[in-house]
Structure 1
Amino acid sequence: MTQLIQLERAANVRELGGYQTTNGTTIKRNKLIRSAAINELTASDQAVLANYGVNQVIDFRSIAEANAQPDRPIATAKQLFLPIFKEDETMVSLSPESLKQRLEDGEDAEEQMKKVYRHFVESDYARQQYRQFFDHVIDNAEGEGATLFHCTAGKDRTGFGAFLLLHVLAVAPTTIKEDYLATNRYLAPMLKEKFAPMTQRLPQELLTAITVLMSAKESFLDESLAAIDQHFGSVDQYLSQGLGVTKEEQAYLTAQLTE
């Protein structure tokens, strides 16, 4: 069984359905989909996602990212704009020229990504946005509709959202981490197409930085986990105290989204 939903012009579009839980149940398919940007969907892609049951799209990108590359609509779905950060802290959406300037100004790609993952936990604004994310998933949990949530690469803001959902649904930590790291495999073809023409003209330090920014690294997610332990004590406490997701809401999600 594959998690990948194969589309013509969108990468890293994946089912969370099919994962086994530690309770002996399975996450339902056609309910939760994580994705990279969907601004280049073809008519065929739009039809695939509509037929898949997508009736809600949650866009985690910043205002600037969404304005620069608006989502292609899915006929059956309402669009919900929910920027995790007011400005894109991941630097994934930067042009090579802008990234080069940031590096020349002294920024370090790996340290920036670690800071991003701490901000998922430490930023009041980010926590409010992830709380709203849970509200939308809860609202759409009953019935046949599927929620698709995405950012630009579908690995950081989306990856952390998937991590939280899978934890609530009692998926084993090793499986959650495997789902997070699978981005590296599913983004590879798109990255090769996008960056291969640049390899001969960009300096090595810039190519290295791009590789870091476009990778899902275990050390990045570990930054979030360390921040959770430091500020809340556990992921369960982060969910209940940091996001305000109640035990009753978590039980409802489990009842609706697993079988």
Structure 2
Amino acid sequence: MSVELLARHAPRRVALEGACNCRDLGGLPTTDGRRTRPGVVYRSDALATLTPADQATLAGLGICAVYDLRTREERVRAPNQLPASAPVQHAFGFIPRGNHEMFAGVNSRQWSPEVTRAAMLAQYERLILDHTECLAGVYRGLLARAGAPAVIHCASGKDRTGIACAVLLLAVGVVREEVVEDYVISHFQRRRVDLFHGTPPAAAVEHVMAASADYLLAALAASERAFGSFDAYLAHGLGLSDLDLLALAHFLVD
């Protein structure tokens, strides 16, 4: 599946030396038969190790805003290396409750793979429900800049970025199966993380590093349970009006 999936979405990939999970959110089909517009919103892992060539690539894409979902500590430890044109950076950093405890449990070998997987499912539910202010901030930033090219990123470009981009794509009408598939691409474009120590169980580490469709589906189901429907989550959880959604679709969908 990985070869076929990556081949199908290869035109969307942005090749960078200092980042491995960068891609365009354009080209995805919507439920009304249209497609998302290329060159408007990109998603990525951390931008802290970009080379001069990478910076030139981003400048060539016209990126003028960066939405960094990492925490302040993460940003200080590994600041973005952006083009000299210095795109506007908006920090909406967050991390789900229980994240530090999960890594401690895995590193100490006290958490089994089964417990770790359950923790990841719970974390995804918290990502979509506990951080609505940060997520809404990203979407309002996109609205304010009226479709100017932007990139949304965190550390690995999988969890926080995965939720932010999935919600955005669903909000503008992208087919749900395609949204899930876009998320799963991150499973095969992994960035090394320095949060594991000692000899933690390989299967537990794999659950943490995975971009499993089940994780994203758990988050979406949680939003629907909490608000009655995904549309209600957009309206009442994120505070996005019908006009906001129309405006997002106006510049994100051809």
For the aligned pair, the TM-score class normalised by the smaller chain equals: 0.7 to 0.9
Hey, what does 1:139 align to over in structure 2? Answer: 144
Q: Distance in 1 between matches of 2:199 and 2:112?
A: 16
* Farther off after superposition, 211-220 or 149-158: 211-220
Q: CA deviation at 1:165?
A: 1.1
Asked if the contact 1:140/1:147 (under 8 Å) is kept, the reply is no
Letter in 1 for 2:124: Y
Q: Distance in 2 between matches of 1:225 and 1:256?
A: 24
Q: Secondary structure at the match of 1:104?
A: coil
Q: Distance in 1 between matches of 2:12 and 2:178?
A: 13
Q: Secondary structure at the match of 1:41?
A: coil
Which of 185, 189, 193 is the aligned partner of 1:186? 189
Please, what is the CA RMSD of the aligned residues? 2.6
Hey, what does 1:203 align to over in structure 2? Answer: 199
Q: Secondary structure at the match of 1:80?
A: strand
Matched residue pairs, number? 242
Hey, what does 2:238 align to over in structure 1? Answer: 243
Q: Secondary structure at the match of 2:155?
A: coil
Hey, what does 1:224 align to over in structure 2? Answer: 219
Q: What stretches of structure 2 of length at least 5 have no aligned partner?
A: 1-9
Which of 120, 123, 147 is the aligned partner of 1:116? 123
Identity, % of aligned pairs? 27
Q: Describe how 1:73-222 pairs up with structure 2 within 5 A.
A: 73-76=82-85, 77-85=87-95, 90=99, 100-101=107-108, 103-104=109-110, 108-123=115-130, 126-142=131-147, 145-187=148-190, 190-191=191-192, 203=199, 205=201, 207-222=202-217
Q: What stretches of structure 1 of length at least 5 have no aligned partner?
A: none
Asked if the contact 2:69/2:160 (under 8 Å) is kept, the reply is yes
* Farther off after superposition, 40-49 or 109-118: 109-118
Asked if the contact 1:12/1:154 (under 8 Å) is kept, the reply is yes
Q: CA deviation at 1:185?
A: 1.8
Q: Secondary structure at the match of 1:149?
A: strand
Q: CA deviation at 1:106?
A: 8.2
Asked if the contact 1:57/1:148 (under 8 Å) is kept, the reply is yes
Return the TM-score normalized by structure 1.
0.84
Q: Secondary structure at the match of 1:245?
A: coil
Q: Distance in 2 between matches of 1:235 and 1:120?
A: 15
